[in-house]
Structure 1
Amino acid sequence: MTSPVAPAGGVHLVVSDIDGTLITPDRALTPAARRAADDVRAAGIRLSLVSSRAPRGMMQFVRELRIDTPIAGLNGGLICDPDGTIRERLSLDPAAARAAVEFLIAHGVEPWLYIDHDWLVRRDDTPQVRHERDVVQTIPVRVDDFDGHYEHVGKIMGVSTDPATLPEVERALADLLAGKASVHRSSPIYLDITHPQANKGYAAKELAKLLDIDIRNTACIGDMNNDIPMLKEAGVSIAMGNAPDNVKAHARFVTRPNTDDGWAFAMESFVLPRA
């Protein structure tokens, strides 16, 4: 376990991942999760969301849970108010963005670019694009190629049709862009490339700072490799039961999977007793 123990005063803020954590595999908020969020709010604990999604793709859950705190999209590359107003951004160096795109294409992984609230794709008719469009309720912008679009890139998402090969692509690209980008899988088929400081650990610290809350009084909960940086920072770190073992190893607590109301169980068992 790498996370510190929360100091006296308990938990004042929860920073939660969305996909694989807050919502079910079919992208729904359960009644138990809604009740738990209400209980967290009633206990005086603030609730914020962090995601590899662009903020626009987070807004459904911001509205449904009545989130009134800043949120972090693009793994911390874009921090916004709950109405979508951008407060902070971290963008990839244009040369690093170009190198990442070229590397992904050469390895059979399709890149998508995220610039502020826009999602750029080379093709908008693939099953992966159609699925993502439905999930995040956002229409992509199709471009013939990405030349001329490497400025202000908040995130590149590499989309693989062969999950077995993505871990090696992740390792090789992380080596290639060492010091220039943060490279983490956000799902078995998605690889996120962001500014080297733009990770969920940075996001959790910035969200806590904006709310004048000590990161040690913050609980973070997630399920994938890109959640590890915030689990390392949190006073109370919680991994989902559906998380890989390497993610669970960085958490103080492990809750049930997201198929069994794991998020609600975590709030009831590990957060509310520390209010």
Structure 2
Amino acid sequence: MTRQEIKLVISDIDGTILNDQHQLSPELKEQVARLQERKIPLVLASARSPLGMEPLARELGLKQEPLAAYNGALIIKGDAENYQVLAEHPLDRKELQKMLTLLQEEFPDLAINLYSGLDWISSQLNRWVQLEAEITGESPQIKEDLLDGLDQLGAIHKMLLIDEPEVIEKVYSYLEEQDFKELACYLSKANYLEITARQVSKELALREIASYYQLPLEAVMAIGDNYNDLPMIRLAGLGLAMGNSPQAVKEAAQASTLSNNQNGVALALAKYITKKK
């Protein structure tokens, strides 16, 4: 059976288009320019916020393409400062309030971060939060008691918990034992625990973006490196795993490419779409 021609590419950011120094390669920029010559959109899908994604999109020359932020909890188009919401799936308020209460009681030293649109509110400015700020280029608002004034915030799209891997493992196990019907937890790194609305996933983001472009799923190529990328990798017409992916992610993908430090995405675009290295 002949594979359908790829007309849309959806890619993760960290560990995928970025190398371990959090940089984009000249080879990738060249391949993205070749995609644009063929009028094939490249859409970035990430756990990052819009503000953490837009500089990379701008550096790649992606001006009209949507951004799927917070793993698809918020999909926007346009400048981050003046964007149009294409789709959003915020956290349930009652369950969020319950989870925050439990976390502040059981893990008082945990760095808790809330993301609402462009706003990043953190419970403390420790080394983990400072490192996240350096990686994303954003600055959090510090508020020790996140429950205070919670009702005044707009839609909250994601909560991020950061600490040592062994602490996050305990937090993850604790939250999984609680009765949260509307919220879902997943590890994006060994020391990063993300909480979103249960229906949020990169699979849903892929469906919504493909619908926006009025393209069948078979015409989409999805690229990622970690477990939270698995839903879109499985769903896409061509799902690719990075060479730095865990073995389980590689096994679920149709194919794999080299690592993020070896221009894996640029090579995949050349192999499957532009045919030029």
TM-score of the pair, normalised by structure 2: 0.88
- Structure 2: gaps (5+ residues): none
1:168-225 CA-partner distances (Å, limit 9, x unpaired) = 6435534535541232211222111111121111111111111111122111111111
The range that moved more, 45-54 or 211-220, is 211-220
- For residues 70 and 172 of structure 1, the distance between their equivalents in structure 2, rounded to whole angstroms, comes to 35
| 1:130 aligned residue | 130
1:18-47 CA-partner distances (Å, limit 9, x unpaired) = 001011111100111111111222233211
Find the residue that maps to 2:16 and give its secondary structure.
coil
- For residues 150 and 100 of structure 2, the distance between their equivalents in structure 1, rounded to whole angstroms, comes to 11
After superposition, residues 1-275 of structure 1 pair within 5 angstroms as 9-67=4-62, 68-84=64-80, 85-87=83-85, 88-105=87-104, 106-107=106-107, 109-124=110-125, 126-147=126-147, 148-149=149-150, 152-160=155-163, 162-164=164-166, 166-167=168-169, 169-170=171-172, 172-174=174-176, 176=178, 179-272=181-274
Residue 82 of structure 1: how far off its partner (Å): 3.4
Give % identity: 29
Find the residue that maps to 2:261 and give its secondary structure.
coil
- For residues 140 and 168 of structure 2, the distance between their equivalents in structure 1, rounded to whole angstroms, comes to 23
Distance change (3 Å), C-alpha of 1:156 and 1:8: same
Q: Work out whether residues 31 and 266 of structure 2, in 8 Å CA contact, stay in contact via their aligned partners in 1.
A: yes
Q: Work out whether residues 104 and 158 of structure 1, in 8 Å CA contact, stay in contact via their aligned partners in 2.
A: no
Higher-Rg member (1/2) = 2
| Alignment size in residue pairs | 266
1:68-120 CA-partner distances (Å, limit 9, x unpaired) = 21111011111111312141221111122123334544256422000111000
Q: Work out whether residues 111 and 129 of structure 2, in 8 Å CA contact, stay in contact via their aligned partners in 1.
A: no
Find the residue that maps to 1:145 and give its secondary structure.
coil
Letter in 1 for 2:8: L
Letter in 2 for 1:121: S
Residue 166 of structure 1: how far off its partner (Å): 3.5
Higher helix share: 2
Find the residue that maps to 2:172 and give its secondary structure.
helix
Distance change (3 Å), C-alpha of 1:210 and 1:132: same
- Structure 1: gaps (5+ residues): none
Residue 239 of structure 1: how far off its partner (Å): 0.7
Distance change (3 Å), C-alpha of 1:104 and 1:260: farther
- For residues 139 and 230 of structure 1, the distance between their equivalents in structure 2, rounded to whole angstroms, comes to 30
Q: Work out whether residues 97 and 153 of structure 1, in 8 Å CA contact, stay in contact via their aligned partners in 2.
A: no
The range that moved more, 15-24 or 130-139, is 130-139
Residue 164 of structure 1: how far off its partner (Å): 4.1
1:221-249 CA-partner distances (Å, limit 9, x unpaired) = 11111111111211110111111112222
Letter in 1 for 2:99: A
- For residues 34 and 191 of structure 2, the distance between their equivalents in structure 1, rounded to whole angstroms, comes to 34
Distance change (3 Å), C-alpha of 1:177 and 1:249: farther
Letter in 2 for 1:154: H
Q: Work out whether residues 182 and 199 of structure 1, in 8 Å CA contact, stay in contact via their aligned partners in 2.
A: no
Q: Work out whether residues 104 and 110 of structure 1, in 8 Å CA contact, stay in contact via their aligned partners in 2.
A: no
Select the structure with the greater relative contact order (CA < 8 A; seq sep ≥ 6): 1
Find the residue that maps to 2:14 and give its secondary structure.
coil
Distance change (3 Å), C-alpha of 1:74 and 1:104: same
Output the aligned Cα RMSD.
Answer: 2.1
